[in-house]
Amino acid sequence: MIFLNLDNAHLPDDFKKPVQAVLDQALAGDETDNFEFPLITKGGARIEVLLNATTRRDEQGNVIGVVGIGQDITARLAQEREYSKLIDTANAPIFGVDNKGAVNVWNKNAQKLVGYTPEEVMGKNLVQEFITGKSLDCFVI
């Protein structure tokens, strides 16, 4: 976790209202977790920030401010993009499911093999909706 010196960075214009809304909500007692937004450094580099905005209260429970904790997630997002590109361009069909069996990864070769687009399968239960007949016997859930 890092602390950002906002004197050396600024928000792009299209993120000023959303960031202000997150802070205003925290001032109203509605805290926000994991809000992502970019900052532009003094040198012109763009960094991505993950913000948690927590309401700050006094001993009587009155709102007296907001505590914002930001984390630089620029490198992590770049890694995720590379990972997604690797999966999508692999020479084998690749799919992933979450802990409930819903599809959350579906690459181009999976689409080519079975004909379903990512839009058709994402969020749907792989076994219940796409595995049929004797193939179903191979899956233990």
| Domains parsed from the chain with CATH numbers | 6-77 (3.30.450.20), 90-134 (3.30.450.20)
Q: How many CA atoms lie within 13 A of 18 on its CB side?
A: 12
State yes or no: pLDDT of 4 exceeds 50. no
pTM metric for this prediction:
0.62
pLDDT of res. 5 = 47
List of long-range contacts for 27-31, beta carbons under 8 Å, 24+ apart: 27/55, 27/63, 27/65, 27/66, 28/63, 29/55, 29/63, 30/55, 31/55
Looking at residue 2, its pLDDT comes to 36
Distance from chain centroid for Cα 35: 9
Mean of pLDDT values over 73-100: 92
Higher pLDDT, 49 or 9: 49
pLDDT of residue 1: 34
Mean pLDDT across the chain: 87
Determine how β-strand 95-97 pairs with β-strand 63-72: unpaired
